[in-house]
Chains A and B, each alone.
Chain A
Amino acid sequence: MAKLLKIESPESVVEKLTSLEKRVIAPVRDGKLHRFLPVKRKEEVDFGYFQAEGSMKGFFFPATEGILKFSTGTKMPQVEEHEIEFPETFVVGCRPCDAAALPIQDKVFEWDYVDEFYKARRDSTTIVSLACTCADNNCFCTSMGLAPDSPEGSDILMVKTEEGFLAEVLTKKGEKLASLLDLKEKGSSEDRRRSAVSASKLITRKFKSEGVPGWLESNFEDPLWEKMCTKCIGCAACTFVCPTCHCFDIVDEPVGTSGERRKNWDACTLWHFTAHASGYNPRDMQHKRYRQRIMHKFDYYPDKFGKFLCTGCGRCIRVCPVSLDLAEVLEEISSRI
């Protein structure tokens, strides 16, 4: 059972941490959208947000990241390790669906081969999430086994209740932060219980997801794919904004005779993801590429790690240029089980 403590407000956490000159990442309003950005003062932050456009995965797994430097100017090619600093960092006020994406990503990046860049960032970061008080038609976290106030992936979960804010301290990192913030007063579990009830009512979009992997396994060639997914235009918007997608490509980018080897986001929805050097592409149509996205998230990954590769954050639905609704595809599958 997690420890329940009273906390003044999410802003107070930013204020304290920034006054101690800690690196804080929080939602910032940037034009019409919110982005997670490093902040220096609590005034920069806007916790009255619904959801940030891009997830915070870029802080652990950046869109582009140098992994080594090389030069070919001399007789022998020279290779140099990439020095990266991993300062102690606090993410404050991310949504529970974003926090929940981290343990899902951990399984991939710390599985047989440990991605040291990812791991170092994860180890030096404390996650202080903020339970949702609003949701839209595209949120479906409860169908993914989560909730607008689920603790997965958070070190501390902040919850707005009738009486103020509560901090659910969940891990060692969370405890360390609680003592840094000087949180002492106990919170009421009754208050927390009531907040959980109202949180569960936020999500209206619900479907049964248990049978989905089984259906996927035996319906790879179903006409559903062509019917529902031909409209996909093959960009990477859905995968890049997705907090759980984790594919990358490695490229060498020289300027003259020296350069950097970089690890860049990649996506199965792009045509060249599986294009062979011969010109042959086993996923020759867009619906087959989109099918891969669903197969990986709701069959292959769960088969290996026992969870869906999706938190139901709804970003992919909101961002899609052609309104291809991932939840609608799942609902259709669910209705056939």
Chain B
Amino acid sequence: MSEELRKIAKDLLKSEKVGVVIGYAFTKADPKRTTPIFVTDTRDTDKLVFNPLCLNNLTVYLTKKKPEIQEVGRPAVVAKGCDVRSILGLIKEFQFKREDVVIIGVGCEGVVKDFSHWTGKLTRENMASKCLYCRVRVPTTYDYLVGEEVPSIEEQDPFKDVKELLSKSVEEREKFWKNQFEKCIRCYACRQVCPFCYCHRCISDKTMPRWIESSAHERGNFAWNIIRAMHLAGRCVGCGECSRVCPAEIPLDLLNREIEREMKEKFEYTAGMDTETPPPLRTYSEKDDDSWIR
């Protein structure tokens, strides 16, 4: 699979169809850990790999957070099905056009929860939870596809843990989140790793006036974590990067997925599945429920 990938990358660079290939490579120190790599020289294409250790959603590098990468030329990006969903979402949000990026889609059997869980083999136990209910193991959109044969998997209910939490009382849930948010150190890794947090100036960085207290205390952390989730309503594609990178191991995806569940229930909408369906929070419809306006 990696071989095929390298060949595509080499051809793309050689023919100058792209200026840079954004992909994965193993780190120097650890053969069980991958890292993003920007290949601009055909000789470096040999470093490219794809395997269950390719955790990052590389599409964050396509956003305006990283102008220096696009300056090199049109990018090609190695993207799993879930990552392609964020590309479609970004196109829908007018961040770039479909033709501005070459998608090297990869068929994906799943990725590990995090590098430390890798035992040499992917199992249901060490697999990232998003992969247990993934419906895009073969990406929906691509320019090139590597590895179209992907073993099928018994699908789990995507909202299982969300519903479990929802079945608890308001007090219990409040306590749960209080304990979780108490650990937040406001490092903003969750924001920085997210392809949809591309605002030049995040509301949490604004000081005149200050909307969100920047201190890592109860009020500040509640405000930050809830607003982060709300700003991703109908946009989050569930790539799970925020949860993966949180140094405090706060299950941030639980919040996102509850919003995803409501979007599905109330608006029959799932983010990142195409570039056409109008996003509900940006669309007016006479059929919208207005019973709550009193």
Spell out A's residues near B (CB within 8 Å): 31-33, 35, 53-54, 63-64, 137-138, 205, 226, 230-231, 233-237, 239-241, 249, 251, 253, 262, 264-265, 267, 270, 272, 285-287, 319, 321-325, 327-328, 331
- Interface-located stretch among B86-94, B166-174, B209-217, B253-261: B209-217
Residues from chain A with a CB closer than 8 A to the CB of B280 are none
User: A63-B185, A234-B192, A272-B205 are known contacts. Are A325 and B247 too (CB-CB below 8 A)?
Assistant: no
**Contact assessment for B38 and A231 in the assembled complex, using a CB-CB cutoff below 8 Å:** yes
**Contact assessment for B69 and A262 in the assembled complex, using a CB-CB cutoff below 8 Å:** no
**Contact assessment for A237 and B249 in the assembled complex, using a CB-CB cutoff below 8 Å:** no
**Contact assessment for A54 and B215 in the assembled complex, using a CB-CB cutoff below 8 Å:** no
User: A253-B210, A321-B193 are known contacts. Are A328 and B216 too (CB-CB below 8 A)?
Assistant: no
Residues from chain B with a CB closer than 8 A to the CB of A321 are 56, 189, 192-193, 241, 244-245
Spell out B's residues near A (CB within 8 Å): 27-30, 33-38, 56, 60-61, 65-66, 68-69, 183, 185-189, 191-193, 205, 207, 210, 213-217, 220, 241, 244-245, 247-249
**Contact assessment for A230 and B215 in the assembled complex, using a CB-CB cutoff below 8 Å:** no
Tell me, rounded to whole Å, the shortest Cβ–Cβ distance linking A107 to chain B.
24
**Contact assessment for A324 and B35 in the assembled complex, using a CB-CB cutoff below 8 Å:** yes
**Contact assessment for A264 and B38 in the assembled complex, using a CB-CB cutoff below 8 Å:** no
**Contact assessment for A64 and B29 in the assembled complex, using a CB-CB cutoff below 8 Å:** no
Please name the residue on chain B nearest to A327 by beta carbon: B29
A319–B249 Cα distance when bound, in Å, is 11
13 extra A-B contacts, CB within 8 A, seeds A226-B68, A264-B216: A31-B249, A64-B216, A138-B29, A231-B36, A233-B193, A234-B192, A239-B187, A240-B187, A251-B210, A319-B189, A321-B189, A323-B27, A325-B29
A69–B4 Cα distance when bound, in Å, is 63
**Contact assessment for B188 and A235 in the assembled complex, using a CB-CB cutoff below 8 Å:** yes
Residues from chain B with a CB closer than 8 A to the CB of A230 are 38, 66, 68-69
Residues from chain B with a CB closer than 8 A to the CB of A323 are 27, 33-36
User: A233-B65, A235-B193, A321-B241 are known contacts. Are A54 and B247 too (CB-CB below 8 A)?
Assistant: yes
For the complex of A and B, 4 pairs with smallest distance between CB atoms: A323-B35, A64-B215, A321-B245, A235-B189
**Contact assessment for B189 and A236 in the assembled complex, using a CB-CB cutoff below 8 Å:** yes
A323–B24 Cα distance when bound, in Å, is 11
**Contact assessment for A322 and B35 in the assembled complex, using a CB-CB cutoff below 8 Å:** yes
A328–B35 Cα distance when bound, in Å, is 12
Residues from chain B with a CB closer than 8 A to the CB of A319 are 189, 245, 247
Choice from A54, A270, A322 contacting B188 with Cβ under 8 Å: A270
20 contacts between A and B (CB under 8 A): A35-B183, A54-B248, A63-B185, A138-B30, A230-B69, A235-B193, A237-B245, A240-B247, A251-B207, A251-B214, A253-B220, A264-B186, A265-B216, A285-B68, A319-B189, A319-B247, A321-B56, A321-B244, A322-B35, A325-B35
Choice from A64, A237, A241, A325 contacting B27 with Cβ under 8 Å: A325
Residues from chain B with a CB closer than 8 A to the CB of A233 are 60, 65, 189, 192-193
Choice from B36, B65, B186 contacting A322 with Cβ under 8 Å: B36
**Contact assessment for B38 and A236 in the assembled complex, using a CB-CB cutoff below 8 Å:** no
A258–B187 Cα distance when bound, in Å, is 27
Tell me, rounded to whole Å, the shortest Cβ–Cβ distance linking B187 to chain A.
4
**Contact assessment for A328 and B27 in the assembled complex, using a CB-CB cutoff below 8 Å:** yes
A53–B247 Cα distance when bound, in Å, is 7
**Contact assessment for B215 and A253 in the assembled complex, using a CB-CB cutoff below 8 Å:** yes
